[in-house]
A and B are shown apart, each in its own frame.
Chain A
Amino acid sequence: MSGSKITLLCVDDDDTPRMLRKLILQRQGYEVIAAASGKEALALLDQGGIDLVLSDQMMPGMTGTELTKLIKASRPEMPVILVSGVNEIPPDAVFADRFVSKVGGPELLFETVAEVLQAYGCLLKKSSGDIVPE
Chain B
Amino acid sequence: IDRIKGYQSGAVDYISVPVVPDLLRAKVGVFSELHRKTRQLERLNLELENRVQERTEQLRQSEEQLQERVAELEAIMQVLPVGVAVAQDPEGHNITANAALANLLGVHPAEKLSTNPTAVESVPFDVYKDGSRLENEDHPLLHSARTGQQFGSMELEIRRAEKDPAYVLASASPLFDRRGNVRGAVGAFIDLTDKKHLEDLLRERADLLELATEAIMVRGLNGAIQYWNAGAEELYGWRRDEVLGKLLHEVLKTNFPTGFLSVQGELARNGSWTGNLTQYTRDGNEVVVACRKALKAGGNSILEINRDITAQLKAEDALRRTERLAAMGRVAGIIAHEINNPLEAITNTFYLLRDHPSLDEEARHYAKLGEDELRRVAHITRQTLGFYRESKYPVEVSISVLLDEILELQMRRMEFSNVILDKRYDSKGSIHGFPVELKQVFLNLIGNAVQAMPDGGNLRLHIFKSQHPISQRDGVCVSICDTGTGIDSECAKHLFEPFFTTKSIKGTGLGLWISKGIIQKYGGSIRFRSLSFGSRNATCFRVFLPGAEIERPHVPDVSSFEDVGVSTIAENV
Contacts and interface: CB of A to CB of B under 8 A. Distances in A.
Interface of A: 14, 16-17, 20-21, 23-24, 27, 58, 83, 85-91, 93-94, 98-99, 101-106, 131, 133
Nearest to A86: B337
B562 interface: yes
Contact of B336 (A14, A20, A85): A85
Contact of A89 (B333, B337, B341, B561): B561
Given A91-B561, A105-B347, A20 B352 contact: yes
A104 B382 contact: yes
A24 B346 CA distance: 12
B11 interface: no
Given A88-B565, A94-B556, A17 B345 contact: yes
Contacts of B556: 91, 94
B562 A103 contact: no
Given A17-B341, A90-B561, 7 more contacts: A21-B344, A85-B337, A85-B344, A86-B336, A87-B385, A93-B392, A103-B344
B351 A106 contact: yes
A93 B561 contact: yes
Nearest to B556: A94
Contacts of A21: 344, 348
Given A87-B340, A89-B388, A106 B333 contact: no
A30 to B, nearest CB: 14
B566 interface: yes
Given A86-B336, A87-B387, A88-B566, A133 B355 contact: yes
Interface residues of B, number: 33
Contact of B348 (A17, A88, A98, A131): A17
Contacts of B352: 20, 23-24, 27
A91 B349 CA distance: 31
B341 A88 contact: no
Interface in B527-573: 555-558, 561-562, 564-566
Contacts, number: 91
B389 interface: yes
Nearest to A106: B351
A98 B389 CA distance: 10
A77 to B, nearest CB: 18
B343 interface: yes
Nearest to A22: B348
Of A14, A23, A102, A131, the most chain B CB neighbours within 10 A belong to A102
27 contacts: A20-B344, A20-B345, A20-B349, A23-B348, A86-B333, A86-B340, A87-B333, A87-B336, A87-B385, A88-B333, A88-B386, A88-B566, A89-B388, A89-B561, A89-B564, A91-B557, A91-B558, A94-B555, A98-B392, A99-B392, A103-B343, A103-B381, A105-B347, A105-B351, A105-B378, A106-B351, A133-B355
Contacts of A17: 341, 344-345, 348
A20 to B, nearest CB: 4
A133 B355 CA distance: 8
Contacts of B375: 105
A24 B348 contact: yes
Of A17, A23, A99, the most chain B CB neighbours within 10 A belong to A17
A62 to B, nearest CB: 18
Given A17-B344, A94-B555, A105-B375, A88 B564 contact: yes
Contacts of A106: 347-348, 351
Please give me the 10 A-B residue pairs with the lowest Cβ-Cβ distance, nearest first: A87-B386, A85-B340, A102-B344, A20-B348, A103-B378, A85-B341, A91-B558, A91-B561, A106-B351, A17-B345
